[in-house]
Amino acid sequence: MGKTVHSLALALALALGLLVSRADAAVTDGYTYSDFQLNTAADLLDICTLDAAHPDYPAAHSFCLGYFAGGQHYHRAVTRGPDFPPIACPEPRVTRDEAIDVFVAYMHANPQHLKEPPMEAVFRAVSAKWPCTN
């Protein structure tokens, strides 16, 4: 019986260790209501990648779309004049959903930027995907 208990305890410890290591491998801490405060790029990533089956999905999806629309409008406004060059130069047919997909993929590939302010991370991602040649 002693060996059985010891084996069971060892198996449990290993299983818990695997769970902890899987949690550490996650890109963000997961969606919470506090993500809507948008303190970091990780918060925006949580909102923009919320599963469609989640009860908060409609609000999160709309928030994500609105955030990216605001970023597009801001970019257009500041780059109209001669003082600020464009940050990114996507083709005119690029959609907001494509920009969101680029952001999500970039954050998964570059988790070191998850602590940045969200709009900085968005502009970093889209400028990497659609750099300006001039």
The model's pLDDT over 79-93, given as tens digits with 9 standing for 90+, comes to 998 999 999 999 989
State how far the alpha carbon of 72 is from the alpha carbons of 4, 38, 105, in Å: 62, 17, 19
Instruction: Reply yes or no on whether the pLDDT at 15 is more than 50.
Output: no
Query: Which candidate, 56, 71, 73, 76, places its Cα nearest to that of 103?
Result: 71
State the DSSP code for 58. H
Question: The domain containing residue 22 runs over which residues?
Answer: 1-28
The answer on 106 and 59 residing in a single domain is yes
* 38-70 tens-digit pLDDT: 999 999 999 999 999 999 999 999 999 999 999
The answer on 35 and 18 residing in a single domain is no
Quick one: pLDDT at residue 63? Answer: 97
State the total domains in the chain. 2
Task: Show Cβ contacts of residue 50 under 8 Å, excluding neighbours closer than 6 positions.
Answer: 31, 56, 57, 60, 61
The answer on 48 and 15 residing in a single domain is no
Quick one: pLDDT at residue 28? Answer: 77
Quick one: pLDDT at residue 35? Answer: 94
With respect to residue 134, please indicate whether it lies within any of the assigned structural domains. no
Confidence of residue 126 (pLDDT cuts 50, 70, 90): very high
Residue that wins the pLDDT comparison between 88 and 29: 88
Quick one: pLDDT at residue 26? Answer: 53
Quick one: pLDDT at residue 129? Answer: 98
The answer on 90 and 68 residing in a single domain is yes
The answer on 45 and 22 residing in a single domain is no
Q: E strand or H helix at 4, and its extent? A: helix 2-25
Task: Indicate the average pLDDT of the chain.
Answer: 84
Query: Which candidate, 119, 29, 109, places its Cα nearest to that of 66?
Result: 119
Enter the tokens of residue 114: 């998850």
The span from the CA of 77 to the CA of 66, in Å, is 16
Angle between helices 57-79 and 41-48 (to 10 degrees): 130
The answer on 115 and 62 residing in a single domain is yes
* 90-104 tens-digit pLDDT: 998 999 999 999 999
Quick one: pLDDT at residue 20? Answer: 33
The span from the CA of 115 to the CA of 134, in Å, is 30
Instruction: Reply yes or no on whether the pLDDT at 71 is more than 70.
Output: yes
